[in-house]
């Protein structure tokens, strides 16, 4: 978890790469509710930075099927039109599934499905710069609209719904994650997988430095 532009996709991609072929990735972004039945004008007025924008029931079903060792169909979302695409992707179950998204620890029914949780703390200025770069390139937005949404919706919703999750996270990263930190984290995830024992009760970080509590 972490705010928009905090580096969630970046970190999950690198961890999955280090732990390949035993890891797969899933993004909460693919589970935004389909808004194709609404006019473009009504879609533009919706608050997509609120947790209710997510199809939590669909996400829960997908996660439970993965944990049961089954193939799943994952929806694909088009942020340019705020609607679900016809195509779906097939995700094979893996020993390790990385799930990245804004609000993954808010709902107890979803939170209980995770063995380990990581929260990324990142300054708002850095997150805004990254969001502008991403949305200009991939989501058909203008710089002024991105900045306006960040100020009016993204940050207020971050303070209300995203940031409080840090209290429930097993690991907190402050600032950019170094290659060594990623390697260390991957090592202990791999170790926990081999022993079938997760480090949830004994793993914490302070300013991105791992501390292991006996």
Measured in Å, how far apart are the chain's first and last C-alpha atoms? 26
Is residue 83 within 8 Å of residue 38, measured between CB atoms? no
52 located within any domain = yes
- CATH code, domain carrying 189: 3.40.50.300
pLDDT of residue 194: 67
Give me the pLDDT at residue 61, please: 97
DSSP structure string for 72-104: EEEEEEETTTTEEEEEEEEE---SEEEEE-SST
| Number of neighbours of residue 100 by Cβ within 10 angstroms | 23
Q: Which residue is it, tokens 């944990």?
A: 67
Closest CA to 165 of 84, 87, 103: 103
- Cα-to-chain-centroid distance, residue 91: 17
Give the pLDDT score at 53.
97
Within a domain: residue 1?
no
The residues pairing with 54 across neighbouring beta strands, listed in sequence order, are 32
The verdict on residue 2 lying in a domain is no
At 170 the pLDDT is: 87
- The pLDDT value recorded for residue 139 is 84
The structural domain count of the chain equals 1
Q: How far apart are CA 105 and CA 107, in angstroms?
A: 6
Question: So what's the pLDDT on residue 189?
Answer: 86
Q: Which domain holds residue 65?
A: 8-212
Instruction: Flag whether 62 is in a domain.
Output: yes
pLDDT tens, the chain, 214 aa long: 999 999 999 999 999 999 999 999 999 999 999 999 999 899 988 999 999 999 999 999 999 999 999 999 999 999 889 899 999 999 999 999 999 999 999 999 999 999 889 999 999 999 999 999 998 988 878 999 999 999 999 999 999 999 999 999 988 988 778 888 888 889 888 887 766 554 444 444 444 444 333 2
Peptide bond into 195 cis (omega under 30): no
């Amino acid at each position: 978890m972490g705010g928009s532009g905090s580096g969630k996709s970046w970190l999950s991609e690198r961890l999955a790469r280090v732990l390949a072929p035993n890891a797969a990735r899933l993004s909460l972004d693919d589970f935004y509710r389909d808004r194709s039945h609404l006019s473009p004008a009504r879609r533009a007025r919706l608050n997509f930075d609120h947790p209710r924008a997510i199809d939590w029931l669909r996400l829960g079903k997908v996660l439970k099927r993965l944990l049961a060792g089954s193939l799943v169909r994952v929806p694909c979302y088009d942020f340019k039109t705020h609607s679900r695409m016809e195509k779906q992707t097939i995700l094979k179950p893996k020993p390790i599934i990385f799930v990245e998204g804004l609000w993954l620890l808010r709902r107890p029914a979803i939170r209980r499905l995770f063995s380990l949780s990581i929260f990324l703390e990142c300054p708002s200025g850095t997150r805004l710069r990254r969001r502008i770069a991403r949305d200009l390139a991939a989501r058909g937005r203008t710089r002024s609209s991105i900045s306006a949404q960040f100020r009016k919706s993204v940050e207020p919703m971050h303070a209300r719904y995203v940031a409080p999750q840090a209290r429930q996270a097993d690991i907190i990263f402050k600032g950019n994650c170094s290659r060594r930190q990623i390697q260390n984290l991957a090592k202990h995830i791999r170790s926990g997988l081999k022993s079938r024992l997760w480090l949830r009760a004994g793993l914490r970080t302070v300013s991105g430095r791992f501390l292991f509590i006996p």
